[in-house]
Copies of this chain bind each other. A is one copy, B any other.
């Protein structure tokens, strides 16, 4: 993958297309070893450990006119899980199918046990975006961490640039897990899953302060992420990262940056369902007048 070149690619949905109707249950039609397949890894020319990889999403669009969501036994935020282990039986396993109207920008929620229907805004994003981890680890695409991965934040939409610290030569960038939309927290563990057509362009940033955890930039916001359990630690990571970033961009002292972030941050939960949980901390760029992040790569990539 060459920096600066527009890449058109596509991704499978997290079930590799095996969940097609409300009678397809994940535990019956999917092999757990092949859940959440990724597109990649891509070798990014010139990327070396210590660099920062910028990934700008030009467009993210559902490949099909429908998406699916499910519950999965012992997975989700309001159920006992393999880690939050309890003596309860699993909640029922169900599958919902959403019609997607790409022209109208809507996805239709259709209740299973009653006639309730409601249209929700289409808001496509990638749940999983990452590079190879440090320490020569190989991680499941279900896991989020400091390499990115399965962060499941709705902020990963078109128009956003994601920054990832490079751990190995070529970065080994991959993406997948398209969501037609997702609530913050992804409570039941599964968003409106669909295959995606995605256009993106990458850039390799040399000489910047290495990015310990994934960051995002939109036209209006700088964002940090933390992925850990409990959610408290995900919050702490995201907020210390935001304090440090603000400090770097403004020359504020640590305590002054802490204060400014305390009064301005937005803090949406991304997911509380994956192997670790993800919190996003956001600051509006208008509170940082004159600041330019990451050598202004977001502005360059979005305007190309």
Q: Which of A's residues lie within 8 Å of B, judged by CB?
A: 32-33, 69, 71, 77-80, 82-89, 91-92, 94, 96, 107, 109, 111-114, 116, 118, 120, 135-140, 142, 181-192, 212, 226, 228-233, 235-237, 239-241, 243, 250-256, 258-269, 272, 277, 279, 281, 287-289
Task: Report whether A256 and B114 are in contact in the complex, using a CB–CB cutoff of 8 Å.
Answer: yes
Q: Which residue of A85, A113, A192, A239 has the most chain B CB atoms within 10 A of its CB atom?
A: A85
Residues of chain B contacted by A236 (CB below 8 angstroms): 77-78, 83-86
Residues of chain B contacted by A186 (CB below 8 angstroms): 262
Task: Report whether A91 and B83 are in contact in the complex, using a CB–CB cutoff of 8 Å.
Answer: no
Task: Report whether B258 and A188 are in contact in the complex, using a CB–CB cutoff of 8 Å.
Answer: yes
Task: Report whether B185 and A96 are in contact in the complex, using a CB–CB cutoff of 8 Å.
Answer: no
Write 29 A-B pairs (CB below 8 A) sorted by A numbering. Answer: A32-B135, A33-B135, A69-B262, A77-B236, A77-B239, A78-B87, A78-B239, A78-B240, A80-B88, A83-B233, A85-B239, A86-B240, A88-B91, A92-B255, A111-B253, A113-B253, A116-B252, A116-B256, A118-B289, A120-B287, A136-B138, A137-B138, A137-B140, A183-B265, A183-B267, A185-B281, A188-B259, A231-B232, A267-B269
Name 5 extra pairs, CB < 8 A, besides A91-B255, A111-B256.
A114-B251, A135-B140, A136-B138, A184-B267, A185-B235
Task: Report whether A260 and B109 are in contact in the complex, using a CB–CB cutoff of 8 Å.
Answer: yes
Task: Report whether A109 and B240 are in contact in the complex, using a CB–CB cutoff of 8 Å.
Answer: no
Closest B residue to A185 by beta carbon equals B267
Task: Report whether B85 and A240 are in contact in the complex, using a CB–CB cutoff of 8 Å.
Answer: yes
Closest B residue to A181 by beta carbon equals B263
One of B94, B237, B251, B264 near A183 (C-beta < 8 A): B264
Closest CB-CB distance, A121 to chain B, in whole Å? 10
Task: Report whether A256 and B112 are in contact in the complex, using a CB–CB cutoff of 8 Å.
Answer: yes
Task: Report whether A85 and B92 are in contact in the complex, using a CB–CB cutoff of 8 Å.
Answer: no
Task: Report whether A192 and B263 are in contact in the complex, using a CB–CB cutoff of 8 Å.
Answer: yes
One of B92, B120, B181, B231 near A235 (C-beta < 8 A): B231
